A = this chain, B = another copy of it.
Amino acid sequence: MRWIAVDWGTSNLRAWVMQGDAVQAALSSADGMGTLARDGFEPALLRLVGDHLQDGSVTPVICCGMVGARQGWIEAAYQTVPSSPPQAAQSVSPVCDDPRLSVSILPGMSQASPADVMRGEETQIAGFLAAFPDFDGVLCLPGTHSKWAHISAGEVVSFRTFMTGELYALLSRQSVLKHSIPDDGWDDAAFTDAVGDAMSRPERVVADLFSLRAQGLVSTLDPAVARARLSGMLVGMELAAARPYWLGQNVALVGNGTLSQRYSEALAAQGVTAQTTDAEEMTLRGLRAAFHSLSEGA
């Protein structure tokens, strides 16, 4: 059976045309939720996947991500932790003008105290649990807004969000540090040292940030070292704050290649060996699981 899996974030729209569990086409556009008014979602979806719809038949479309936010296509109210990740039964369906579309939007998850929310990562977690149903421990999902989630007996028990990726982007591109931080280049030792420094003296990061600029003015600083050090400072702050999550725990990473690798190295330096899985694969697994539960429920 043909269906469409959709990961609809703030900046991007990604879709996979599926035949059962097999991917037939992977598509994407810049029509993120942040760029669309409420009546712009269906046209944006049709622009991307319209060629894959068949007249006279209805294609299920399973979506996760910011598309279900209050400012999205239709609000899919957060599911509160502790709870298993949302499944198809919790999804909401916007009314579509095109009779070929049957859209289901999965909700995100929320936590009352400390206040926290996620939209999209819950589907990666669902995918991870579909692949490793007996996993008990902590998932780290690095990114713009990194998440750490405590998983037990198939449920998300608690989670926390860290603005690490967004801080890196703001500091490297829009602050006075933009003169010192290049778009590429890397130095493993500088990263590891900065992680360690930030973990042992997290408060110093706010002073050490400006030194990245000053060192280039009063002497020299290899731009690759500056870039790795900035990343290490911010990841180190995150690891210091997330210590109750990873210390003595069974940890798995759900992320993309390079970033996941850096978190893995930083955790290894703390004596934590983290299993590494691919974020896109877990998203797709989570959407597949939702599709199956939808089919079974229908």
Q: Which residues of A contact B (CB under 8 A)?
A: 70, 78, 110-112, 114-117, 145, 160-164, 166-167, 170-171, 174-176, 202-211, 213-215, 217-219, 221, 234, 237-238, 240-243
Contacts and interface: CB of A to CB of B under 8 A. Distances in A.
A210 B162 contact: yes
A46 to B, nearest CB: 29
B237 A203 contact: yes
A207 B110 CA distance: 15
A221 B206 CA distance: 26
A217 B161 contact: no
What number of copies of this chain does the assembly contain?
Answer: 2
Given A115-B211, A116-B211, A145-B176, A217 B163 contact: no
A76 to B, nearest CB: 13
Given A170-B170, A209-B163, A115 B214 contact: yes
Contacts of A202: 202-203
A117 B166 contact: no
B206 A110 contact: no
Contacts of A170: 170-171, 174-175
A21 to B, nearest CB: 34
Given A110-B214, A175-B163, A115 B219 contact: yes
Nearest to A236: B203
A166 B161 contact: no
Contact of A114 (B145, B161, B167, B211): B211
A218 B111 contact: yes
Nearest to A240: B203
22 contacts: A70-B217, A111-B214, A111-B218, A112-B218, A112-B219, A114-B208, A115-B214, A116-B214, A117-B213, A117-B214, A145-B210, A161-B211, A162-B210, A163-B175, A163-B176, A164-B206, A167-B175, A170-B171, A202-B202, A203-B240, A203-B241, A205-B237
Given A78-B217, A161-B211, 15 more contacts: A111-B218, A112-B218, A114-B207, A115-B219, A115-B221, A117-B217, A145-B210, A162-B206, A163-B206, A164-B206, A167-B206, A202-B202, A203-B243, A205-B241, A207-B241
Contacts of A215: 115
A287 B262 CA distance: 49
